[in-house]
Amino acid sequence: MTNFFDLSGKTAIVTGAGSGIGQAIALRFAQAGARVAVWDIRAQEAEQTVNQIKAAGGTAEVAVVDVADDQAVEAAVAGLESERKRIDILVNNAGIASVGNVAETSHAELERIYKVNIAGVANTMRAVAPRMAKAGGGAILNLASIASLIGVKDRFAYSASKGAVLTMTYSVAIDYAQQGVRCNCVCPARVHTPFVDGYLKDNYPDNQAEMFEKLSAYQPIGRMAQPAEIAALAHFLCSDESTFITGAAYPIDGGVCSMPGF
């Protein structure tokens, strides 16, 4: 029988894989047989992910890469290609958050978000997509957000950056469709990650539980997503079972986009 969603023999890059969604994706891909390049700007967190993968019998390696540095990205991709001969999967998960409306968002804040959330995604795709095309194809998956699909209060810079991720996904998909490179994105609502816990601790130290429930209730389904749930969708979109899917944006949002009046 066919082993569905098998990634054996494939090489995958997952950015921001030191924690949260990126870590869950890296673990899922390794479990499915992929050899995972765990990219993160934080060496210790990346090593922890790699250690978890190896402890479970998978194959992975650490690459400390700042996706905002185009030369560092190119060097890391070139080195990986030289060793593995091809790169089959790229997941652009690395990103940073920003809170505030347009009046509260400074030029410096826009630049900070741009460097990681927009230029960082462009840098990795610029390095990887042509190599995938030359090797016969591959799958690129970008982490966008429901903020790229609907208005989200006080997320001006973040929404702008995720809107760019969405349209960059469409652009790469159409530019490389004839060369076997698929490019899709997923658009999560709130996901319960260490970032959320840290955000609540720093900003709502006296009522963390109350604010957690409020953030959870934003999703009609009544809770936040778990990183593993995002990883499951990422696995499908990067597997050979999704070879007819490209240029698509998948909300994974507990009903937020489809039930705006909830």
C-alpha 251/C-alpha 53 separation (Å) is: 28
- Residue 40 in contact with residue 22, Cβ under 8 Å? yes
Amino acid sitting at position 75: A
Q: Is 170 a catalytic residue?
A: no
Q: Which residue has the tokens 């959320």?
A: 196
Distance, CA of 65 to CA of 16 (rounded, Å): 9
Q: Which amino acid is at 255?
A: G
The number of beta carbons lying within 10 Å of the beta carbon of residue 130 is: 13
User: Which one, of 174, 182, 166, 169, lies nearest residue 245 by Cα?
Assistant: 182
Q: What dihedral do alpha carbons 219, 223, 224, 230 form, nearest 10°? A: -90
CA angle 139, 143, 148 (to 5 degrees): 125
CA distance 194 to 219: 19
From the candidates 158, 199, 204, 218, give the one annotated as an active-site residue.
Answer: 158
60 CA to centre of own chain: 18
Angle at the Cα of 30 from the Cα atoms of 188 and 175, rounded to 5 degrees: 55
Residues designated as active site: 158
